[in-house]
């Protein structure tokens, strides 16, 4: 079965999310006009809320909402614009469901508004470095925080990324950030190696192969490979045709120690994981047809 680090669960919506028995699925909901894979598709709040409900029905454990594109070359938007995009979606989901909501933002103002509206955790691609207010927000609300590694910023991160030893450098970064968060009172931290964020194809592959080393950090491990450009570089396929490669990468990440998978295709990912666990002798999920 799924191997864990020194953790088995973390709190969400007054409950706990079990991380010991299986990988959990975080469904991506980009309410942006310019995200790399689905930009503009869910910019309308009603459409976004309906998609969130669909992902929940398909087996998502968490909905991750982003109001600012972080694709390579993306430029930052104002907090006010980001809030205007995400708040109607958060409140709409929360009025219909208790599914945990993650807010994908680097801005404390957006985080504060989102948590007050019903979000349950923070997903910060800057690992709480972009806006010093993010730390205070996380501590006051006592919510889990995803710390992601990124070399540079979305605007310039893919301009010749370079590492001497990408695995050791990312691990060193997380050792420092996890220790910092613990000393500052952030009780629940998740790490994300930032596949595609300031990395070449070779860097991404090296990090995926080394995922077992990340479990030694003693915190949950989140991995996001869904539809990303390194899959296209390997397969020659555009983003909308990378489902097979995404599933392969996600199952591999799960077996290498990931606790959470951030994905676009929830139904297909859950089906792959259900079969994986059945083949390995775990609990079989029976779906009526």
Which residue in 71, 227, 262, 270 is the catalytic one?
A: 262
Strands 24-30 and 62-66: parallel
Active site residue 262: yes
Asked whether residue 273 is domain-assigned, the answer is yes
Asked whether residue 288 is domain-assigned, the answer is no
Backbone angles phi, psi at 30, to 5 degrees: -90, 115
- Given this model, what pLDDT does residue 69 score? 82
For residue range 22-59, list pLDDT tens digits in order. Answer: 999 999 999 987 655 555 678 899 999 999 999 999 99
For residue range 160-179, list pLDDT tens digits in order. Answer: 778 999 999 999 999 999 99
Q: How many domains does the chain have?
A: 1
Say what the pTM is. Answer: 0.90
Active site residue 227: no
Asked whether residue 1 is domain-assigned, the answer is no
Instruction: Please report, for the domain that includes residue 120, its CATH number.
Output: 3.20.20.20
For residue 236, pLDDT over 70 is answered with yes
Asked whether residue 2 is domain-assigned, the answer is no
- Within 13 Å, how many C-alpha atoms sit on residue 21's CB side? 9
Which residue in 71, 177, 227, 228 is the catalytic one?
A: 228
Please, are residues 260 and 221 in contact by the beta-carbon 8 Å criterion? yes
Q: What percent of the chain has pLDDT over 90?
A: 78
Query: Domain residues for 222?
Result: 21-279
Which string of DSSP letters, residue by residue, matches 25-81?
A: EEEEEE-SS--TTTTTTT-SHHHHHHHHHHHHHHT-SEEEEESS--STTPPP--HHH
């Amino acid at each position: 079965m799924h191997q864990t680090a020194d953790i088995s669960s973390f709190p969400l919506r007054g409950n706990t999310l079990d991380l010991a028995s299986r990988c959990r699925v975080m469904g991506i909901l980009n309410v942006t006009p310019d995200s790399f894979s689905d930009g503009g598709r869910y910019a309308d709040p009603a459409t976004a809320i309906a998609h969130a409900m669909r992902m929940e029905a398909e087996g998502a454990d968490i909905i991750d909402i982003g109001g600012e594109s972080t694709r390579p070359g993306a430029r930052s938007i104002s907090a006010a614009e980001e809030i205007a995009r995400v708040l109607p979606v958060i409140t709409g989901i929360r009025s219909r469901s208790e599914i945990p909501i993650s807010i994908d933002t680097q801005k404390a103002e957006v985080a504060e508004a989102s948590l007050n509206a019903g979000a349950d955790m923070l997903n910060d691609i800057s690992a709480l470095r972009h806006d010093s207010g993010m730390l205070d927000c996380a501590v006051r609300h006592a919510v889990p925080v995803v710390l992601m590694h990124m070399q540079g910023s979305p605007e310039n991160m893919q301009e010749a990324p370079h590492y001497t030893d990408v695995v050791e450098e990312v691990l060193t970064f997380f050792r420092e950030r996890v220790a910092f968060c613990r000393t500052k009172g952030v009780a629940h931290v998740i790490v994300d190696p930032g596949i595609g964020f300031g990395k070449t194809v070779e860097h991404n592959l090296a990090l995926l192969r080394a995922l077992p080393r990340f479990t030694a950090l003693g915190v949950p491990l989140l991995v996001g490979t869904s539809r990303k450009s390194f899959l296209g570089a390997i397969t020659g396929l555009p983003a909308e045709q990378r489902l097979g490669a995404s599933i392969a990468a996600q199952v591999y990440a799960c077996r290498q120690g990931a606790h959470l998978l951030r994905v676009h295709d929830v139904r297909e990912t859950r089906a792959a994981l259900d079969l994986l666990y059945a083949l390995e002798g775990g609990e079989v999920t029976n779906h009526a047809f």
